[in-house]
Structure 1
Amino acid sequence: MELEEQWWRGQLAADIYQALRYKELKLPSYKGQSPQLNLRRYFADLIAIVSNRFRLCPAARHLAVYLLDLFMDRYDVTVQQLHMISLSCLLLASKFEEREDRVPKLEILNSLGCMSSMNLVLTKQGLLHMELLLLETFQWNLYLPTAAHFIEYYLSIAVHEGDLHDGWPLTFLEKTKLYMAKYADYFLEVSLQDHVFLRFAPSLVAAACVAASRLILHLSPTWPPRLLHLTGYAWESLVPCAEKLLMCVCARHDSCDS
């Protein structure tokens, strides 16, 4: 999103954050009316698999899934076309969020094992055509904040030496920060797997990921004043989203056990 790396550590962090919050107020509406909505999870997973293969940043992955959601919401397309659309969304998002040398190359994409299973061969002309269609659909505006764009800003103060763990002072501050980052990232990925999270503002989803992580880590207070002040969200506002995140995690664990 044309932001400098680790913008949340810079002097302009508060200004950039406010610009992101303002921009999310103008995000396109999402109705969840795609005829292929039942396939949405499969294609979101496909984007995640390919982005992990190329080690793309979370912002690129989340933007790609968001572009896919918006496109599916507006057009009735075939399953075969959705494969091409999903990968085009990922390429477009990576061009917007990543350095040029990290954008997946066509020949490497075609060599992936999942491509043969989809019976799909990408061509330069086909990708350019699809990327142009996507850009026209979104009026050439890819400045679309996702939860991944907010999470690091919130994580910068998600754990503090004044927090309590199970009612006791923190013993290992840095270790707890690492666990916090891992849990928050996990919840962030969970939010990609169900379009229900599009009901919430991206900044709220990011805050709920931090809140759910603090619950899992038994940190208290669950939502300290510093996080309320930074995010602008009271605990009561986060509960519906945080509960859905925790329920999704429980459902995943139950399915793995069965």
Structure 2
Amino acid sequence: MAFPQQQQQFPAYGYCESYFVENSDDYEGVYARAAAERERARGAAKLRQKALAEELSRITADEYQEDVLDHMEHMESETMPDIQSIEIQTEIQWFMRPYLLDFLLEAHHAFQLLPETLHLAVNLLDRYCSRRVVYKRHYQLVGCASLLIAAKYGDRKDRVPTIRELKSMCCSLYDDDMFTQMEWHVLQTLNWVIGHPTVTSFLQLALTEISFDPELEHMSWYITELALYHKEFIPIRPSVLARSSLALARCILNRSQPRFSDWSARYDPQVVLNLSNFLQQPSQALVRKYASQHLSAVSTTIDMFLQRQSMLAQRSVQTPVNDVVMDVEIAAPVNSNYLNPQTPQKPGYPSVAVGVLTPPITPDKDFHTHAAYGINPSVQGTQYTPPHSVEQQHHMHFAAQSTYAQVPQPQLVH
């Protein structure tokens, strides 16, 4: 009968591992303290192991960093697209590129994929267009297949888009089998060589040499994604584009430039100048994406920077040269023609709410878009045809305008 009273008097029995407790003055329990000590020792050992692993990883990274960088620079030269082969495409034109990039950018942002996934997808798209003739009605399909391959290659598995989701984004313009066939054909065309050192990979190497600066990193991302819209930057190697974008981002944010002897500071002044010339008229999809505070609202920072540049340019015209104050000197390498719009916009295209995907022009099942732009589609239907090689397009170039309607379209063999 004394046991309930003892339980009320010493409620600390609940901390013991055993129901039977020795009758002593230590009511906290010997076994409970021993278990807590073991748990603390185990946690301290894990922390020491983690610190040791990070230290060994840092030492190993510093030791092999030059070898890794040499391999990345070698791989980027092996996986560069050929812009001259894209130039001789018979159907797709450069004015279509911003529309497709808007679609890929918004799809990439909707699925919350990694930044390098977008750059790898565009690289796969350009490399495929360098080797195959792409019809206008398949341009968006190639872009979706490239994004799907890039997401499977280097992104998280739970964020890889499904074919059903891509089909819905394309307004059911393509069947499910067409996505699978195009994905297989892109891989076959590129000889299954997917790995490409993207701009973001070189940016990470360059940013490891300085302290963490999220605004500088987001500004660099903005500039590199802006460069995707323009064919002038397709032949530029990602390593050069990354360092040039980082240099321009430092100028915009008024960050100090490192010594030019460092690898991260060896930018190309001409590339920096060309990038600054395209800052004025970016894609609205890109502006909406980088207007969020999650990405440091760098698009708003760009607008403020351009306004200051415009005011300083007007002041320099009105003020004599001898009276110019030195403390307002422009540090960024901006050309006098940077106010000219460079990125093709969408005149006459119906306004779209924020977050709504805007697929590019396709000559099938999109007659209202053709009427807005005066485009007369040469082929009806969405039957998939395997693209031709660049060598075969010379025979197609001299054919009659009705060639695509007369020639039977073979099916792609699985």
Shared topology, TM-score over 0.5? yes
Alignment of 1:30-41 (within 5 A): 30=82, 31=84, 32-33=86-87, 34-35=89-90, 36=92, 37-41=94-98
How many angstroms does 1:10 deviate by? 7.8
The corresponding residue for 1:239 is: 269
Contact (CA 8 Å) 2:80, 2:123: kept in 1 or not? no
The DSSP-based 3-state class of the residue aligned with 2:112 is coil
For 1:26 and 1:121, the matched residues in 2 are separated by 32
Alignment of 1:1-258 (within 5 A): 11-12=60-61, 14=65, 15-30=67-82, 31=84, 32-33=86-87, 34-35=89-90, 36=92, 37-112=94-169, 115-116=170-171, 120-123=173-176, 125-158=177-210, 177-220=213-256, 222=257, 224-225=258-259, 228-231=261-264, 234-235=266-267, 238-252=268-282
Query: Cα deviation per residue 1:56-111 (whole Å; 9 max; x = unaligned)?
Result: 11111111111111222332222211111110010011111112222101222233
Question: What runs of 5+ residues in structure 2 fail to find an aligned partner?
Answer: 1-56, 283-302, 304-338, 346-414
For 1:104 and 1:47, the matched residues in 2 are separated by 12
> Which one has the bigger helix percentage?
1
For 2:216 and 2:174, the matched residues in 1 are separated by 40
State which drifts further: 38-47 or 196-205: 38-47
How many angstroms does 1:190 deviate by? 0.8
Number of matched residues? 222
RMSD: 2.4
Question: What runs of 5+ residues in structure 1 fail to find an aligned partner?
Answer: 1-7, 160-173
How many angstroms does 1:138 deviate by? 0.7
State which drifts further: 199-208 or 12-21: 12-21
For 1:181 and 1:122, the matched residues in 2 are separated by 39
For 2:210 and 2:272, the matched residues in 1 are separated by 15
Identity %: 24
For 2:210 and 2:247, the matched residues in 1 are separated by 9
Flag the 1:9–1:199 CA change in 2: closer, same or farther, 3 A. Answer: farther
Contact (CA 8 Å) 1:65, 1:89: kept in 2 or not? yes
The corresponding residue for 1:168 is: none
TM-score by length of 1: 0.77
Flag the 1:65–1:196 CA change in 2: closer, same or farther, 3 A. Answer: same
